[in-house]
Amino acid sequence: MPKPLGQRFRQSVFRLFGNLVAGIFYYVKTFGIENLPEAGFLLVPNHMTYVDAVVLQLACPRPIRFIVHESIYRIAWLTPIFKLVEAIPISNLRAKEAIREAAERIRKGEIVCIFPEGELSRTGTLIKLRKGFELIARLAECEVIPVWLDGLWGSIFSFEGGRYFLKMPKRIPQLATIAFGQPIPARSVEIGLTREKLLELGEFCYQRRPELTGHLGRATVRGLKRRPFDQAIIDGMDGRVVKRGDLLAASIALSRWIKKQCAGERVAVVLPPGAGAVVANLAVTLANKVAVNLNFTAGRAALQAAINRGQILHAISAKPVMKRLEDFPWPKDVFRLEELMPELRPKIALWRLISAVAPAWLLSNLLGLPKKADRKEAVLLFTSGSSGEPKGVVLSHRNVLGNVMQFGSMLNLGRQDSVMASLPFFHSFGCTVTLWYPMIGGVRAITYPTPVDVVKNAEIIERYKISLLVTTPTFLRGYLKRAEPKQFASIKLLVTGAEKLPRELAEAFEQKFGKHVLEGYGLTETAPVVSTNLPDPPANLPTDTVQPSSRVGSVGKLLPGQAAQIRDPETNALMSPHELGMLWLKGPNIFEGYLNEPARTAQVLSDGWFKTGDLGRLDEDGFLYIEGRLSRFSKIAGEMVPHETIEARIIEAFGLRMEDERVVAVVGVPDQAKGEALILLAIRDLSPERIREHLLAAGLPNLWVPRTVRKVEKIPILGSGKLDLGKCKELALAR
């Protein structure tokens, strides 16, 4: 059936305008055209920029009739264009009329598009969906096509960086990937499902970003080359400053030595955070080998198992470190940085000269770095083993680059900002957030060997005016007791992870320091950042609504490019995203598998989806809530009982909130009658009768009351601050 003349004219006008915009600013790539029904339907896209409609029409082979808010429709110079393309104006006063008109157009076979968020995102993430699109779909009895527009955030038409238009484009043209999803029947349309499908399309598009196929070393060379005279690292131990160009030259010189001397695929780095550890990690990567930061706080048996499993023959360390680690099972060859680097000074000077004149691509070619590394192993980390023997987590170049891109686009830090780098690099947050991100993203890293010395860390934060601090609630308690408010004056972002953030701790910290504590969530297997709360974006206009980027009790919104599903913990059946169940994740940051453990990998990876082991849910605005690891729940008489909830109630009842160390831990042990029984480990004398009284008074069921209380000298914890569940169970089972 031939198209009416008006439709053909509208399409021609839009395509002419679209080609003009896209030809200058965007290169549009489209997926899922085959999903578009022949009849009329409703399009529901995400909304990132002022030109979304133009790009969307360019991607769609048929004319689209857009629903436009009346305040935009009435802008004098835009009104003729909207009338020409027969857009449908909508406002609070004429919402019913607009919905009826949209439904009528769809019934006549047209495509109607409504942006369900109702406004541009100022965060780069999907914001709250409004209900209007559901009404249109049901009234028209039509299918709904979710569609995702990727690559437009960061362009001059988006709010990235806190402003529209008044910024330099990052690249011209910029790849815009458009993906049309499978039709959703009118009877099935609801906000939760639509949001889930949009995020899955967003993940599909993000995975196709060409940067993800690159090599971590090449990305770091580009990052360090951009501003070679800026400070890259300040070593908090001695105040030594390393500029970005000098860091690159030293790392290249060491990488050439490693390439000749180290035959193995992997090289261990056994160093605390500092300039030496950064140089060593980068040098191993520039030698096209895999850096393995070993957890030197782990026991000898665990370390030996890691070295054996990783087939590690070589390690880079330093004499003072080796002297402290007398029981460390060193591999065959150990190279000391303080001996190597002086010998390499002439070569460092040569590479400083070469790197000053050679562009990044040529320098990377000279180093023999492949242009594409994608899913090849880039980093090997061993988990802290909170519930068993440490596992070797293989992170690919795609994983690390993807996660740096994901959270880097959200943090919005610049060259004037700095990151506190005291988390060990064998910790996944330390590795990605404080090691690789500063080098690639262009921010300064201030290193200190340990996060435990909160007094010294606080002094460094004040001295160097640090912007970003990533820490754990355990260390936050130390800052609360031993730091002064003036020492945190420069902090823009304070994010906690690794364990649940108690609300009373966050409130006490904010009251003393005037800094809002934001909770995030991540796992070693997710490279590691999954989600984080952030400060709300500023309003661009007085009429702009608040777009919340944080919510108390949540761990924030998923980072861009990630999708989530909630499944039944036992059957793996899909559940509503708003129900509590097992959290599964998909995205470029999902690891490649456990080293040499295909069976264990198959238990948690399926068709790109990763079973986190955490029970969680999402609210209607997309905020993620983590109720705890499945291993921190007990199934008693068929009911799931959360250990952390019981611990929190006991801590509150007995006034133990602000203790420096963990004072209680609930452990589940086998029980023939009810499946499991609860045992409370405590470092204080706590009466079982009073515990029972307080828990029942707080409204907890009788099943949730621990059967036994065992007093212990110390609650076992790992170096990351997490409970050592294996040792806790041993204590609980001890007679």
Segment holding 303, helix H or strand E? helix 300-309
Q: Which fold has domain 5-208?
A: Cobalt-precorrin-4 Transmethylase; domain 1 (3.40.1010)
Q: In what order do the strands lie in the sheet with 593-594?
A: 333-336, 314-317, 266-269, 290-293, 377-382, 392-396, 593-594
- One-letter amino acid of 317: S
Q: Spell out the domain ranges in the chain.
A: 5-208, 211-228+242-411, 550-633, 637-733
CB atoms closer than 10 angstroms to residue 434: 26
Place of tokens 């007995």: 654
Which pLDDT belongs to residue 163?
Answer: 57
| Phi, psi angle pair for 383, to nearest 5° | -60, 160
Q: Which CATH superfamily is domain 211-228+242-411 in?
A: ANL, N-terminal domain (3.40.50.12780)
List, run by run, the mean pLDDT of 10-residue segments along the chain (735 residues). 56 64 77 94 91 86 85 72 75 82 90 88 85 88 94 71 57 85 92 93 96 97 95 93 96 96 94 96 98 90 90 95 92 93 95 95 96 96 68 96 93 90 93 96 94 93 94 88 93 89 88 93 94 83 75 93 93 91 96 94 94 92 86 76 84 72 84 81 85 84 85 80 80 79
- CATH no. of 550-633: 2.30.38.10
* Contact indicator for 519, 598 with CB cutoff of 8 Å: no
Residue 250 neighbours by CB under 8 Å, 6+ apart: 242, 279, 283, 341, 344, 348
What is the number of other CB atoms lying within 10 angstroms of the CB of residue 581?
22
- pTM of the predicted model, to two decimals? 0.87
Q: Residues with Cβ < 8 Å from 347, sequence gap 6 or more?
A: 253, 256
Cis peptide, bond prior to residue 528, ω within 30 of zero: yes
pLDDT value at residue 363: 97
For residues 203 and 657, give the distance between their C-alpha atoms in angstroms, rounded to a whole number.
40
Assigned token pair, 578: 């708003």
Q: What tokens does 18 get?
A: 């679209």
Tell me, what's the pLDDT at 597? 92
Look up residue 441 and give its two tokens: 């993203």
> What is the C-alpha separation between 52 and 40, in angstroms, rounded?
21
Beta-carbon contacts of 468 under 8 Å, excluding residues fewer than 6 positions away, are: 411, 413, 417, 418, 419, 420, 443, 491, 492, 493, 495
Residue 357 buriedness (CB in 10 A; 0-12 / 13-18 / 19+) = exposed
The one-letter amino acid code at 609 reads W
User: What backbone torsions phi and psi does residue 467 show, to the nearest 5 degrees?
Assistant: -95, -40
637-733, what's its fold?
GMP Synthetase; Chain A, domain 3 (3.30.300)
Cα separation, 425 vs 270, in Å, equals 9
